[in-house]
Chains A and B, each alone.
Chain A
Amino acid sequence: MGFPQRKAAIVGVYNTKQARILEGTPWTLALEAIQGALDDAGLKHSDIDGLSSMMYDASLTAQQMWVEQLGGRPMTYTSHGIAGALVTKAAAAIAAGLTNVVCIYFGNAGMRAGPSKQRAAQEAAPVVRKAPRVPDWDFNVHGAYMSAWYALWTRRYMDQFNAPYENLAEYPVIARYHATLNPASIMGERGEITVQDVIDSPMISSPLHRLDCSLDNDGGYAILVASAEVAKNCRKAPVWVLGGGEGIYTDFYMSFTNDWINDNGQSVRRASDIAFAGAGVTRDDIDVTGMYDCFPVTMARNIEEMGFCKVGEGHEFIKEGHLKLGGKLPTNTDGGLLSHSHCGNPSGMHVVEVVKQLRGECDARQVKDAKIGAVLSQGYAVHGVAGVAILGKD
């Protein structure tokens, strides 16, 4: 049995304002996003009967509270994880008759994740009486954090494939260019950058400079996936879920395989192969993509694992400009995680942007005649948690 194509569609999407600091709480930003997505779809909150939280630590209790918030009656589907997988599983659940309208939601305020938050916390409470205890194999014990972790991966990639840093540093340049065309992006107003600007930005964790790193900001978003029956009465044309897949494996910042980068691929490869097979489309059919792009090496490995180029050639694919608007695989046209927004668990915004592209709502950054798009969401790198959704319009 293949993937249930065109049984479910994305009918509403919404990003709140994304900014370094926003007023409100994670709850109020998620609420604003859900209301925005409902307006986009022309649906009411009481139409929602399935909930997928994008909070990494979403508890069942938190989901129950949201069920109360959204109308106070039983819902029939719940899930949590990363957006590409949640879209796929919502479509499958809808096709199976478990639910009709699934709301995927996220909000983040005042909860920045990086060293700046830890530094602020330390300055607020300068006397640390006792060393905090963390899970036994946690990388925090060794002074590691996201940028340092991805620096390790970047170094390994560069060494294994003789990949020049300058090739990878082309990715932030592309992302910033896209952001300049997206009025909602955080960094667009600062204008375009060059590879030299990336090299000249402060070193964070070698070889990664500041402009190689994701933003760390507040924001929210929501995505509504609905049955074909519901979709036909919605305000905008449906964006069909044509296929999808999920992968889960290692790299939770404690453990990794010693064939870290190999030809067999890891989670992203598995999720991608399932998604393309289910959708019945080829890599060449893809007009636009949104891929989790927390650091340049992530992008290089994404396109390799997804099958858009060979393993070890992702850095050249980036250097050749294929990901840029006008290239053969325009990607992250909103500016991505480096120049649009990284609001905590931002993978849903890659879905939002691809949906807007397929609807033709992207103005200056519109990909002409975009009909089929691919979304890749990730946690914990291409080896870790992956979700792929293949989307298409009529």
Chain B
Amino acid sequence: MTHQPYNKPLPQRLPENEEFWAGLEAREFRVPKCDDCGYWHWIPYPACRNFLSTNQTWTTTSGKGKVFSYTVVHRGPGGFRDDVPYVLAMVEFPEGPRNPIVIGTMVDVDPDAVHTGMPVKVVYEDIEGENVTIWHFAPDD
């Protein structure tokens, strides 16, 4: 097989979420926060889930959280087939109310050491030639 630098699915970078993608490039994980009720939201929508307010501001989170759930994948799809075993985690951010929960792979971690409640931080990967940065999680020692 011809080696290619990155052959896994990548997210579309849409103009309405540019603050988010630009944030990843700046090493910040930003989510919409409602100016009216203070809720932090994930995934982003143009209006707050509470009262449909459009007074939301992309706000930088702490970039830290705790593992809400996890799995060690032993059979990966497509471009992930050669990465097994890898850890997929759901991470709950401390920002509340309505703490965001975000899914991502874990890097720099022993799969056997991952557990629910484990402190983690967001880490960033710039994808060469693709004009997009994606996020992962790593142990927050």
Contacts and interface: CB of A to CB of B under 8 A. Distances in A.
Contacts, number: 134
B96 to A, nearest CB: 9
Contacts of A114: 77
Q: Which of B9, B80, B134 has the most CB of A within 10 A?
A: B9
Interface in B61-118: 68-81, 83, 86, 88, 90, 92, 98-99, 101, 103-105, 116
Contacts of B86: 143
Contacts of A204: 73-75
A61 interface: no
A142 B125 CA distance: 12
B88 A143 contact: yes
Contacts of A129: 4
A245 to B, nearest CB: 23
Interface residues of A, number: 45
A148 B83 CA distance: 14
A132 B8 CA distance: 7
A151 interface: yes
Interface string A141-182: 111110110011101100100000000000000000000000
A152 B88 contact: yes
Given A141-B9, A145-B77, A159 B103 contact: no
B134 A118 contact: no
A33 B101 CA distance: 42
Contacts of A143: 8, 73, 76-77, 80, 83, 86, 88, 105
Contact of A115 (B11, B76, B98, B103): B76
A134 B73 contact: no
Contacts of A147: 75
Interface string B1-33: 110101111111110010000000000000000
Interface stretch (A50-58, A252-260, A300-308): A252-260
A205 B72 contact: yes
Interface in A127-141: 127-129, 131-141
Interface residues of B, number: 44
A126 interface: yes
Interface in A196-247: 202-208
B4 A258 contact: no
B75 A152 contact: no
A136 B101 contact: no
Given A132-B10, A141-B10, A255 B42 contact: yes
Contacts of B134: 141
Given A127-B2, A258-B98, 9 more contacts: A128-B79, A131-B79, A142-B105, A143-B8, A144-B88, A156-B68, A159-B69, A203-B74, A256-B90
Interface of B: 1-2, 4, 6-14, 17, 42-43, 68-81, 83, 86, 88, 90, 92, 98-99, 101, 103-105, 116, 127, 130, 134
4 closest A-B pairs (Cβ-Cβ)? Answer: A151-B71, A128-B7, A156-B69, A143-B80
26 contacts: A115-B76, A122-B78, A128-B7, A131-B79, A134-B12, A135-B12, A136-B11, A138-B9, A140-B9, A140-B78, A141-B9, A141-B11, A142-B88, A142-B104, A143-B76, A143-B83, A144-B103, A152-B69, A152-B70, A152-B71, A155-B69, A159-B69, A202-B74, A203-B74, A205-B73, A205-B88
